[in-house]
Structure 1
Amino acid sequence: MKLEDLESIMDEAVFVAFLGHFGGRRLYVPKNMGADHPISLVIGLEAATALSDYLQGESVDLPTLDRYNRRIKRRKILELRKKGVSFDMIAWEIGCSRRFVIQICADGREEIEAERPEPKFRQLELF
């Protein structure tokens, strides 16, 4: 089970509330979700029912909300760098340090290089 699968079941605000309340725990999701169940009380019956239909009585280990937010920041940093945005501008836009941006980009270098558009100017080769 991937976190993206759970995220696709709910909208972002509901997912953030879900992780804010239950994050960092192993959570059992029953097959039949009632309106008075703690999960339903936090995220609403509709989202809780969708979660129950998806997991069908399984337990799931949830990350903390902080870990989820770091993952979102990492994704945004890599997307901006793929577009050619400078380290300084990314740090300013994301609200983190330049050093953090450089570390994330170093870790994701292969991903960035695979999707970066071709340079506008090429080096002239002399014979």
Structure 2
Amino acid sequence: MSRRVTSEHLVAELVALLGERAFIALAENFGGRRLYVPRKIDADGEIAKAVGMTAAQKLSDRKSPDYLRVPLARGLRARHHRAAGLSNGEIATKLGMTETGVNSLFARMHSLPEKGSDKDRQLSFF
């Protein structure tokens, strides 16, 4: 009997395998689609161009030859972009959703990620 892998488990597995930065590049380039992962990675191939040769080879070693349903990972990507200092409007554009949707996404999170550029500009009162 095959076990269905949830999106959250797949995200965790791919982040552990590739690292967060390479996974985010994978999700931003291929999120929401089925991606064929070949046995032999070509440096000029779309996967290597998106995530780098090292991460592409790791993905191939673990997932080839097969199709991978690349998660959208909007929550992880939103946190990443927020930490990089992007506004909710800029994040909305990157995620392909509305700014209101981004506001709702952050509202559902247990801990709101700090905005990178705001952190540097805030005054400390203590």
TM-score by length of 2: 0.53
Task: Report 1:1-127 matches (<5 A).
Answer: 1=5, 2-66=10-74, 68-69=76-77, 96-97=106-107, 100=108
Unaligned 5+ runs, structure 1: 73-94, 105-127
Q: Of the two, which has the highest radius of gyration?
A: 1
Q: Runs of at least 4 residues of structure 1 off by over 2 A? A: 67-72
Q: Percent identity?
A: 31
Distance of 1:96 and 1:5 partners within structure 2? 23
Q: CA deviation at 1:65?
A: 3.7
Unaligned 5+ runs, structure 2: 81-104, 111-126
CA RMSD of aligned residues (A): 2.8
TM-score by length of 1: 0.52
Distance of 2:106 and 2:16 partners within structure 1? 27
